[in-house]
Amino acid sequence: MSRMRGSENEEAEQEDVCIYAVGDIHGRLDLLSETFFKIDADIESSKPRRWIEVFVGDYVDRGADSFSVIEALAERARAPHVVCLRGNHEQILLNFLEDPGVLKTWRQYGAIPTLQSYGLNPSANPDLDESFLLAEQLRQTMPSSHLQFLQTLPTSFSFGSYFFAHAGIRPGVPLPEQQDQDLMWIREEFLLCDDNFGKMIVHGHTPARDPEVLHNRINIDTGAYATGRLTCARIEGRRVGFL
């Protein structure tokens, strides 16, 4: 069973809450900083009575500044209205600390720049011995605040008529019974499904050229790492816009 934050009794209040939802960051501190600035400016100008910020995961890998992205998010998430979800990339990083052999796979997901951002010096294609050494070094180097941040990320967040998860949900399974594996990894079975899922699903994980607003889901992954475009949706009641 997934760990889910949020509750149904928030539904009644949803109309006066503004939700900012941010897509996959992948080590782009520059874009994350811009997005913080845009959110803060929007709050300043539109003055919502209440607001929530949801980051849908994939903070690390591929981009150059994973360390600083985690640092910045962990800091911002100290505020109670900020929710950071767990992406599959955060999960692989945690798996690697437990099982260094995972690096063989993780490397293909952009692990090398992440390890470098923590001050490690991995070769381009580490063998198993080097993987054990790197995992040990990462355990030593990673600030405990980062580890705690990563270990406590929930895999979904439900608020009013919206449901947030990194990758999506498994069609046919009630939202409270969704499995972590699906919430962090699912693709086609979710993306190609036309069902009404009971709530609007807001997700990242599968990059699209532009943010996608469909009848049953909103995809906010615009491939920031490669495109330089980090999407932030602004959701107020039924209105969905982008900063």
Report 68-107 residues binding Mn ion (CB under 5 A).
87-88
Cβ atoms < 10 Å from Cβ of 185: 16
CB of 58 to Mn ion, least distance (A): 4
Report the nearest approach of Mn ion to the CB of residue 72 (Å). 19
Nearest distance in Å: CB 203, Mn ion: 9
* Closer of 68 and 206 to Mn ion (Cβ): 206
Write the interaction track for Mn ion spanning residues 46-75; mark x where CB under 5 A is met and - where it is not.
Answer: ------------x-----------------
Establish if 205 lies at the interface with Mn ion (CB under 5 A). Answer: yes
Size of the site for Mn ion (CB under 5 A): 4
Residue nearest to Mn ion (CB): 205
Tell me whether residue 17 or residue 112 sits nearer to Mn ion (CB atom): 112
Q: Which is nearer to Mn ion, 58 or 180 (CB)?
A: 58
Closer residue to Mn ion in complex, CB, 88/231: 88
CB of 188 to Mn ion, least distance (A): 14
Cβ contacts of 236 within 8 Å, gap of 6 or more: 15, 17, 18, 19, 48
180 touches Mn ion by CB under 5 A: no
Min. distance of Cβ 205 from Mn ion in angstroms?
4
Applying CB under 5 A, the residues found at the interface with Mn ion are 58, 87-88, 205
